[in-house]
Amino acid sequence: MAGSKATITYEMMTGPQKAAVFLMSLPDSVAAEVLKRLEMDEVREVTGTMNEIGHVLPKDIEKIFREFAEHATGQSGTVGNYNTTRKLLESAFSSDQAQMLLDDLNGPKGKTMWEKLGNIPDQILSNYLKNEYPQTIAVILSKIKADHAGRVLVNLFNFKQDLALEVIFRLLQIDAIQKDVLDNVEKTLRAEFMSNLTHAQRQEPHEFVAHIFNSMDQEKSSKFLNALTERNSQAAEKIQKFMFRFEDLTRVPPQGIASLIEQADATDLAKALKGASEILRNLFFESMSQRQRQMMEENIKALPMMRLRDIDAAQQSVLAVAKRLKDEGTIIVLDDGEDGQVVY
């Protein structure tokens, strides 16, 4: 047909073409996060290649993901990452200097501490500042842009109205801030907040691959894991430790399952349990009241025959709620073989 593009195989592809196919195979939200980490020249090259790429067969897409997994887990070749950079800096500088350079590399963009603060999301900055003295908060807000400071103040107001108002009064009294005060605040920020932030933002390669696999449906992620296990079982095992799949909910204690039942959408939960193992389904049933269980069993029985991808979608929806509750500390996920007794 006129205007159609020829099929391109894995063996024919250049590096940018593989990168383009890889990104196009990811969910839009994940691909967007990857693009944010690239330089503008790299973004232009990859997106330009996307626009020109021909038809790619599923088997060639699988080869690209395998190649990515092997490189990301460091099976061969030289891979630039946090550990190699740290070793190099520590061999050239003192440990304090090396740590400062690493924090600058991995932290928010900006030449000065105040520029870096201006690039930190307001919610993260607010969570840190809510435990500081009003005078300290006022000094910090006076050094960042007004719109950013405004969003931080709104967050602080929602947390504690009196604190936000006190900060505003301190801001009104700020005239010329003494250099030693600024130096002390900057030193504290670098030692505490920036260091903790960069450590939290840094991501181990196996964890990054696990997040990509988590974004896929179970059939695809299992396929990649099985293929990777054949080539590098240690890498596959490390990745699995970072993954959180629907069947992993068997490692959530009963109190946590009860919280999840309360928060999850009932329709999604019924669809998810329809495709769950008997062990997991019973775990949920045992955490329900007799009436809840009876209603859920009826809902599951009333469901028509479903495609596997629809069940996967429902399980991902329930799992998203579980991840949120886990991040909030409402539920915990025990390690394999760990004693299931929990004190609440």
Return the percent helix, strand and coil in the chain, to nearest 5: 70, 0, 25
Q: Are residues 107 and 195 in the same domain?
A: yes
Sign of the torsion formed by the C-alpha atoms of 169, 171, 176 and 178: positive
Do the Cβ atoms of 118 and 145 come closer than 8 Å?
A: yes
80 occurs within a structural domain: no
Q: Are residues 194 and 264 in the same domain?
A: no
Q: Are residues 124 and 194 in the same domain?
A: yes
Q: In this predicted structure, which of 29-43, 174-188, 311-325 has the lowest mean pLDDT?
A: 174-188
- The band of 191, judged by pLDDT with boundaries at 50, 70 and 90, is low
For residue range 97-127, list pLDDT tens digits in order: 555 555 554 444 444 566 667 667 777 778 7
Q: Are residues 117 and 25 in the same domain?
A: no
78 occurs within a structural domain: no
In this prediction, residue 215 carries a pLDDT of 66
For residue range 221-234, list pLDDT tens digits in order: 788 888 888 888 88
Of 201, 229, 259, the domain-final residue: 201
In this prediction, residue 40 carries a pLDDT of 77
277 occurs within a structural domain: yes
Q: Which domain holds residue 124?
A: 93-201
Asked whether the predicted pLDDT for residue 96 surpasses 50, the reply is yes
Q: Are residues 40 and 105 in the same domain?
A: no
Q: Are residues 110 and 196 in the same domain?
A: yes
- Token pair, residue 3, equals 């205007």
For residue range 7-28, list pLDDT tens digits in order: 888 888 888 888 888 888 888 7
Q: Are residues 197 and 265 in the same domain?
A: no
- Mean of all residue pLDDT scores within the chain: 76
221 occurs within a structural domain: no
72 occurs within a structural domain: no
Of 144, 174, 201, the domain-final residue: 201
For residue range 273-321, list pLDDT tens digits in order: 999 999 999 999 999 999 999 999 999 999 999 888 889 889 988 988 9
For residue range 196-215, list pLDDT tens digits in order: 444 444 456 777 677 777 76
Asked whether the predicted pLDDT for residue 344 surpasses 60, the reply is no
In this prediction, residue 281 carries a pLDDT of 93
More confident site: 338 or 149:
149
In this prediction, residue 107 carries a pLDDT of 44
84 occurs within a structural domain: no
More confident site: 212 or 190:
212
DSSP string, 297-314: HHHHHH-----HHHHHHH
User: What angle (nearest 5°) sits at the alpha carbon of residue 254, between those of residues 250 and 256?
Assistant: 90
Average pLDDT over residues 44-56: 79
- Domain holding 275: CATH number? 1.10.220.30
165 occurs within a structural domain: yes
Work out how many domains the chain is built from and give that number: 3
Decide: helix, strand or coil at residue 7: strand
213 occurs within a structural domain: no
**Distance between CA atoms of 209 and 70, rounded to whole angstroms?**
10
Residue with tokens 């394999």: 336
Q: Are residues 116 and 176 in the same domain?
A: yes
- Token pair, residue 224, equals 């990649």
In this prediction, residue 32 carries a pLDDT of 81
pTM of full prediction above 0.75:
no
In this prediction, residue 297 carries a pLDDT of 94
